[in-house]
Amino acid sequence: MRINIQKQIAIRKLIVIWSIFTLIAGGCGQAPNKQTGVATNEIVSSKQEENDSTIQEEYNNNSVGNEEKNFRQIALEEKIGNRTLKEYLLDEKIPQTFKDVFQQKQKLTDDEKTFALIDSIFSSDKERHPFYFVLVTRTMWWSDGAFSEPLGMAARKYVENSTQKFLAYFSTELTLTSFDFERWAIYTLHEILIDTDENIKELENTRILMKKNCKECSPENIKMIDKFIECMYAEYNEIQRRNKEWEMKNL
């Protein structure tokens, strides 16, 4: 059973705010190696300097610049899969809405055309799927409001059921970054917390499902699964820590 909409909104706001601080400080330390698919073991640890300002003020002052810094722009001649971005943008079979959102010419809305963008992650079109995957990943940087819920649902469904494809993209696709990997972890965590009424133990079921659906994966890919779960735990712990800090400052 899904929890009420007010609680969903509250959880999403907290996770988005706290996760930004985690990303600023180096995130969960996940950085897949593009040549081998091995996730690095080094966990970057850094403490945010405390000051007299509230967490919300810190968020407002710091988040935008850091978000832009961590977001990777993609040049027209860069390849996504076997085609350049320019070739995808000229492809008449790709909806114009998808192209405009990719280039940040159109904001994410709650209409059917934009929601169709999320569904593209489950497309069987192998030729265009790399573009769709990177597109959906990019929306995780901009999503807010009504678009976030189906995006979180899709993220969880994809990583749990199409695990091998998910890992393959983050092992080989040069346009994807460790920060993108963290975005997937954050949105998957969103959905798990909402769908299970904040039952953090459900992360272990996600670990089991991912490994079950990755029977042909290499030992390195299995390590990536464990790192993905560790990333979600790290995000959750950061949420809890910041939440307590927020409460103490607002007593």
pLDDT at 215: 87
Distance CA 49, CA 206 (A): 34
Residue with tokens 């810094």: 69
Residue 46 lies in a domain: no
Residue 43 lies in a domain: no
How many domains are contained in the chain?
1
Which residues form the domain of 17? 5-35+53-249
pLDDT at 69: 76
Q: What is the pLDDT of residues 139-190, one digit of tens each?
A: 999 887 788 999 999 999 999 999 999 999 999 999 999 999 999 999 999 8
Residue 41 lies in a domain: no
Residue 42 lies in a domain: no
Q: Among 5-14, 43-52, 150-159, which stretch is predicted with the lowest mean pLDDT?
A: 43-52
Distance CA 246, CA 251 (A): 9
Distances (CA, A) of 69 to 9, 61, 113, 179, 188: 26, 14, 29, 11, 23
Give me the residues paired with residue 83 across strands: 80
Residue 184 lies in a domain: yes
Residue with tokens 């990177």: 134
The SS3 assignment for 83 reads: strand
Angle at 131 between CA 170 and CA 31, to 5 degrees: 15
Residue 40 lies in a domain: no
pLDDT at 28: 62
Backbone angles phi, psi at 73, to 5 degrees: -80, 150
Residue 17 lies in a domain: yes
Residue 45 lies in a domain: no
Place 34 in a pLDDT band, splitting at 50, 70 and 90: low
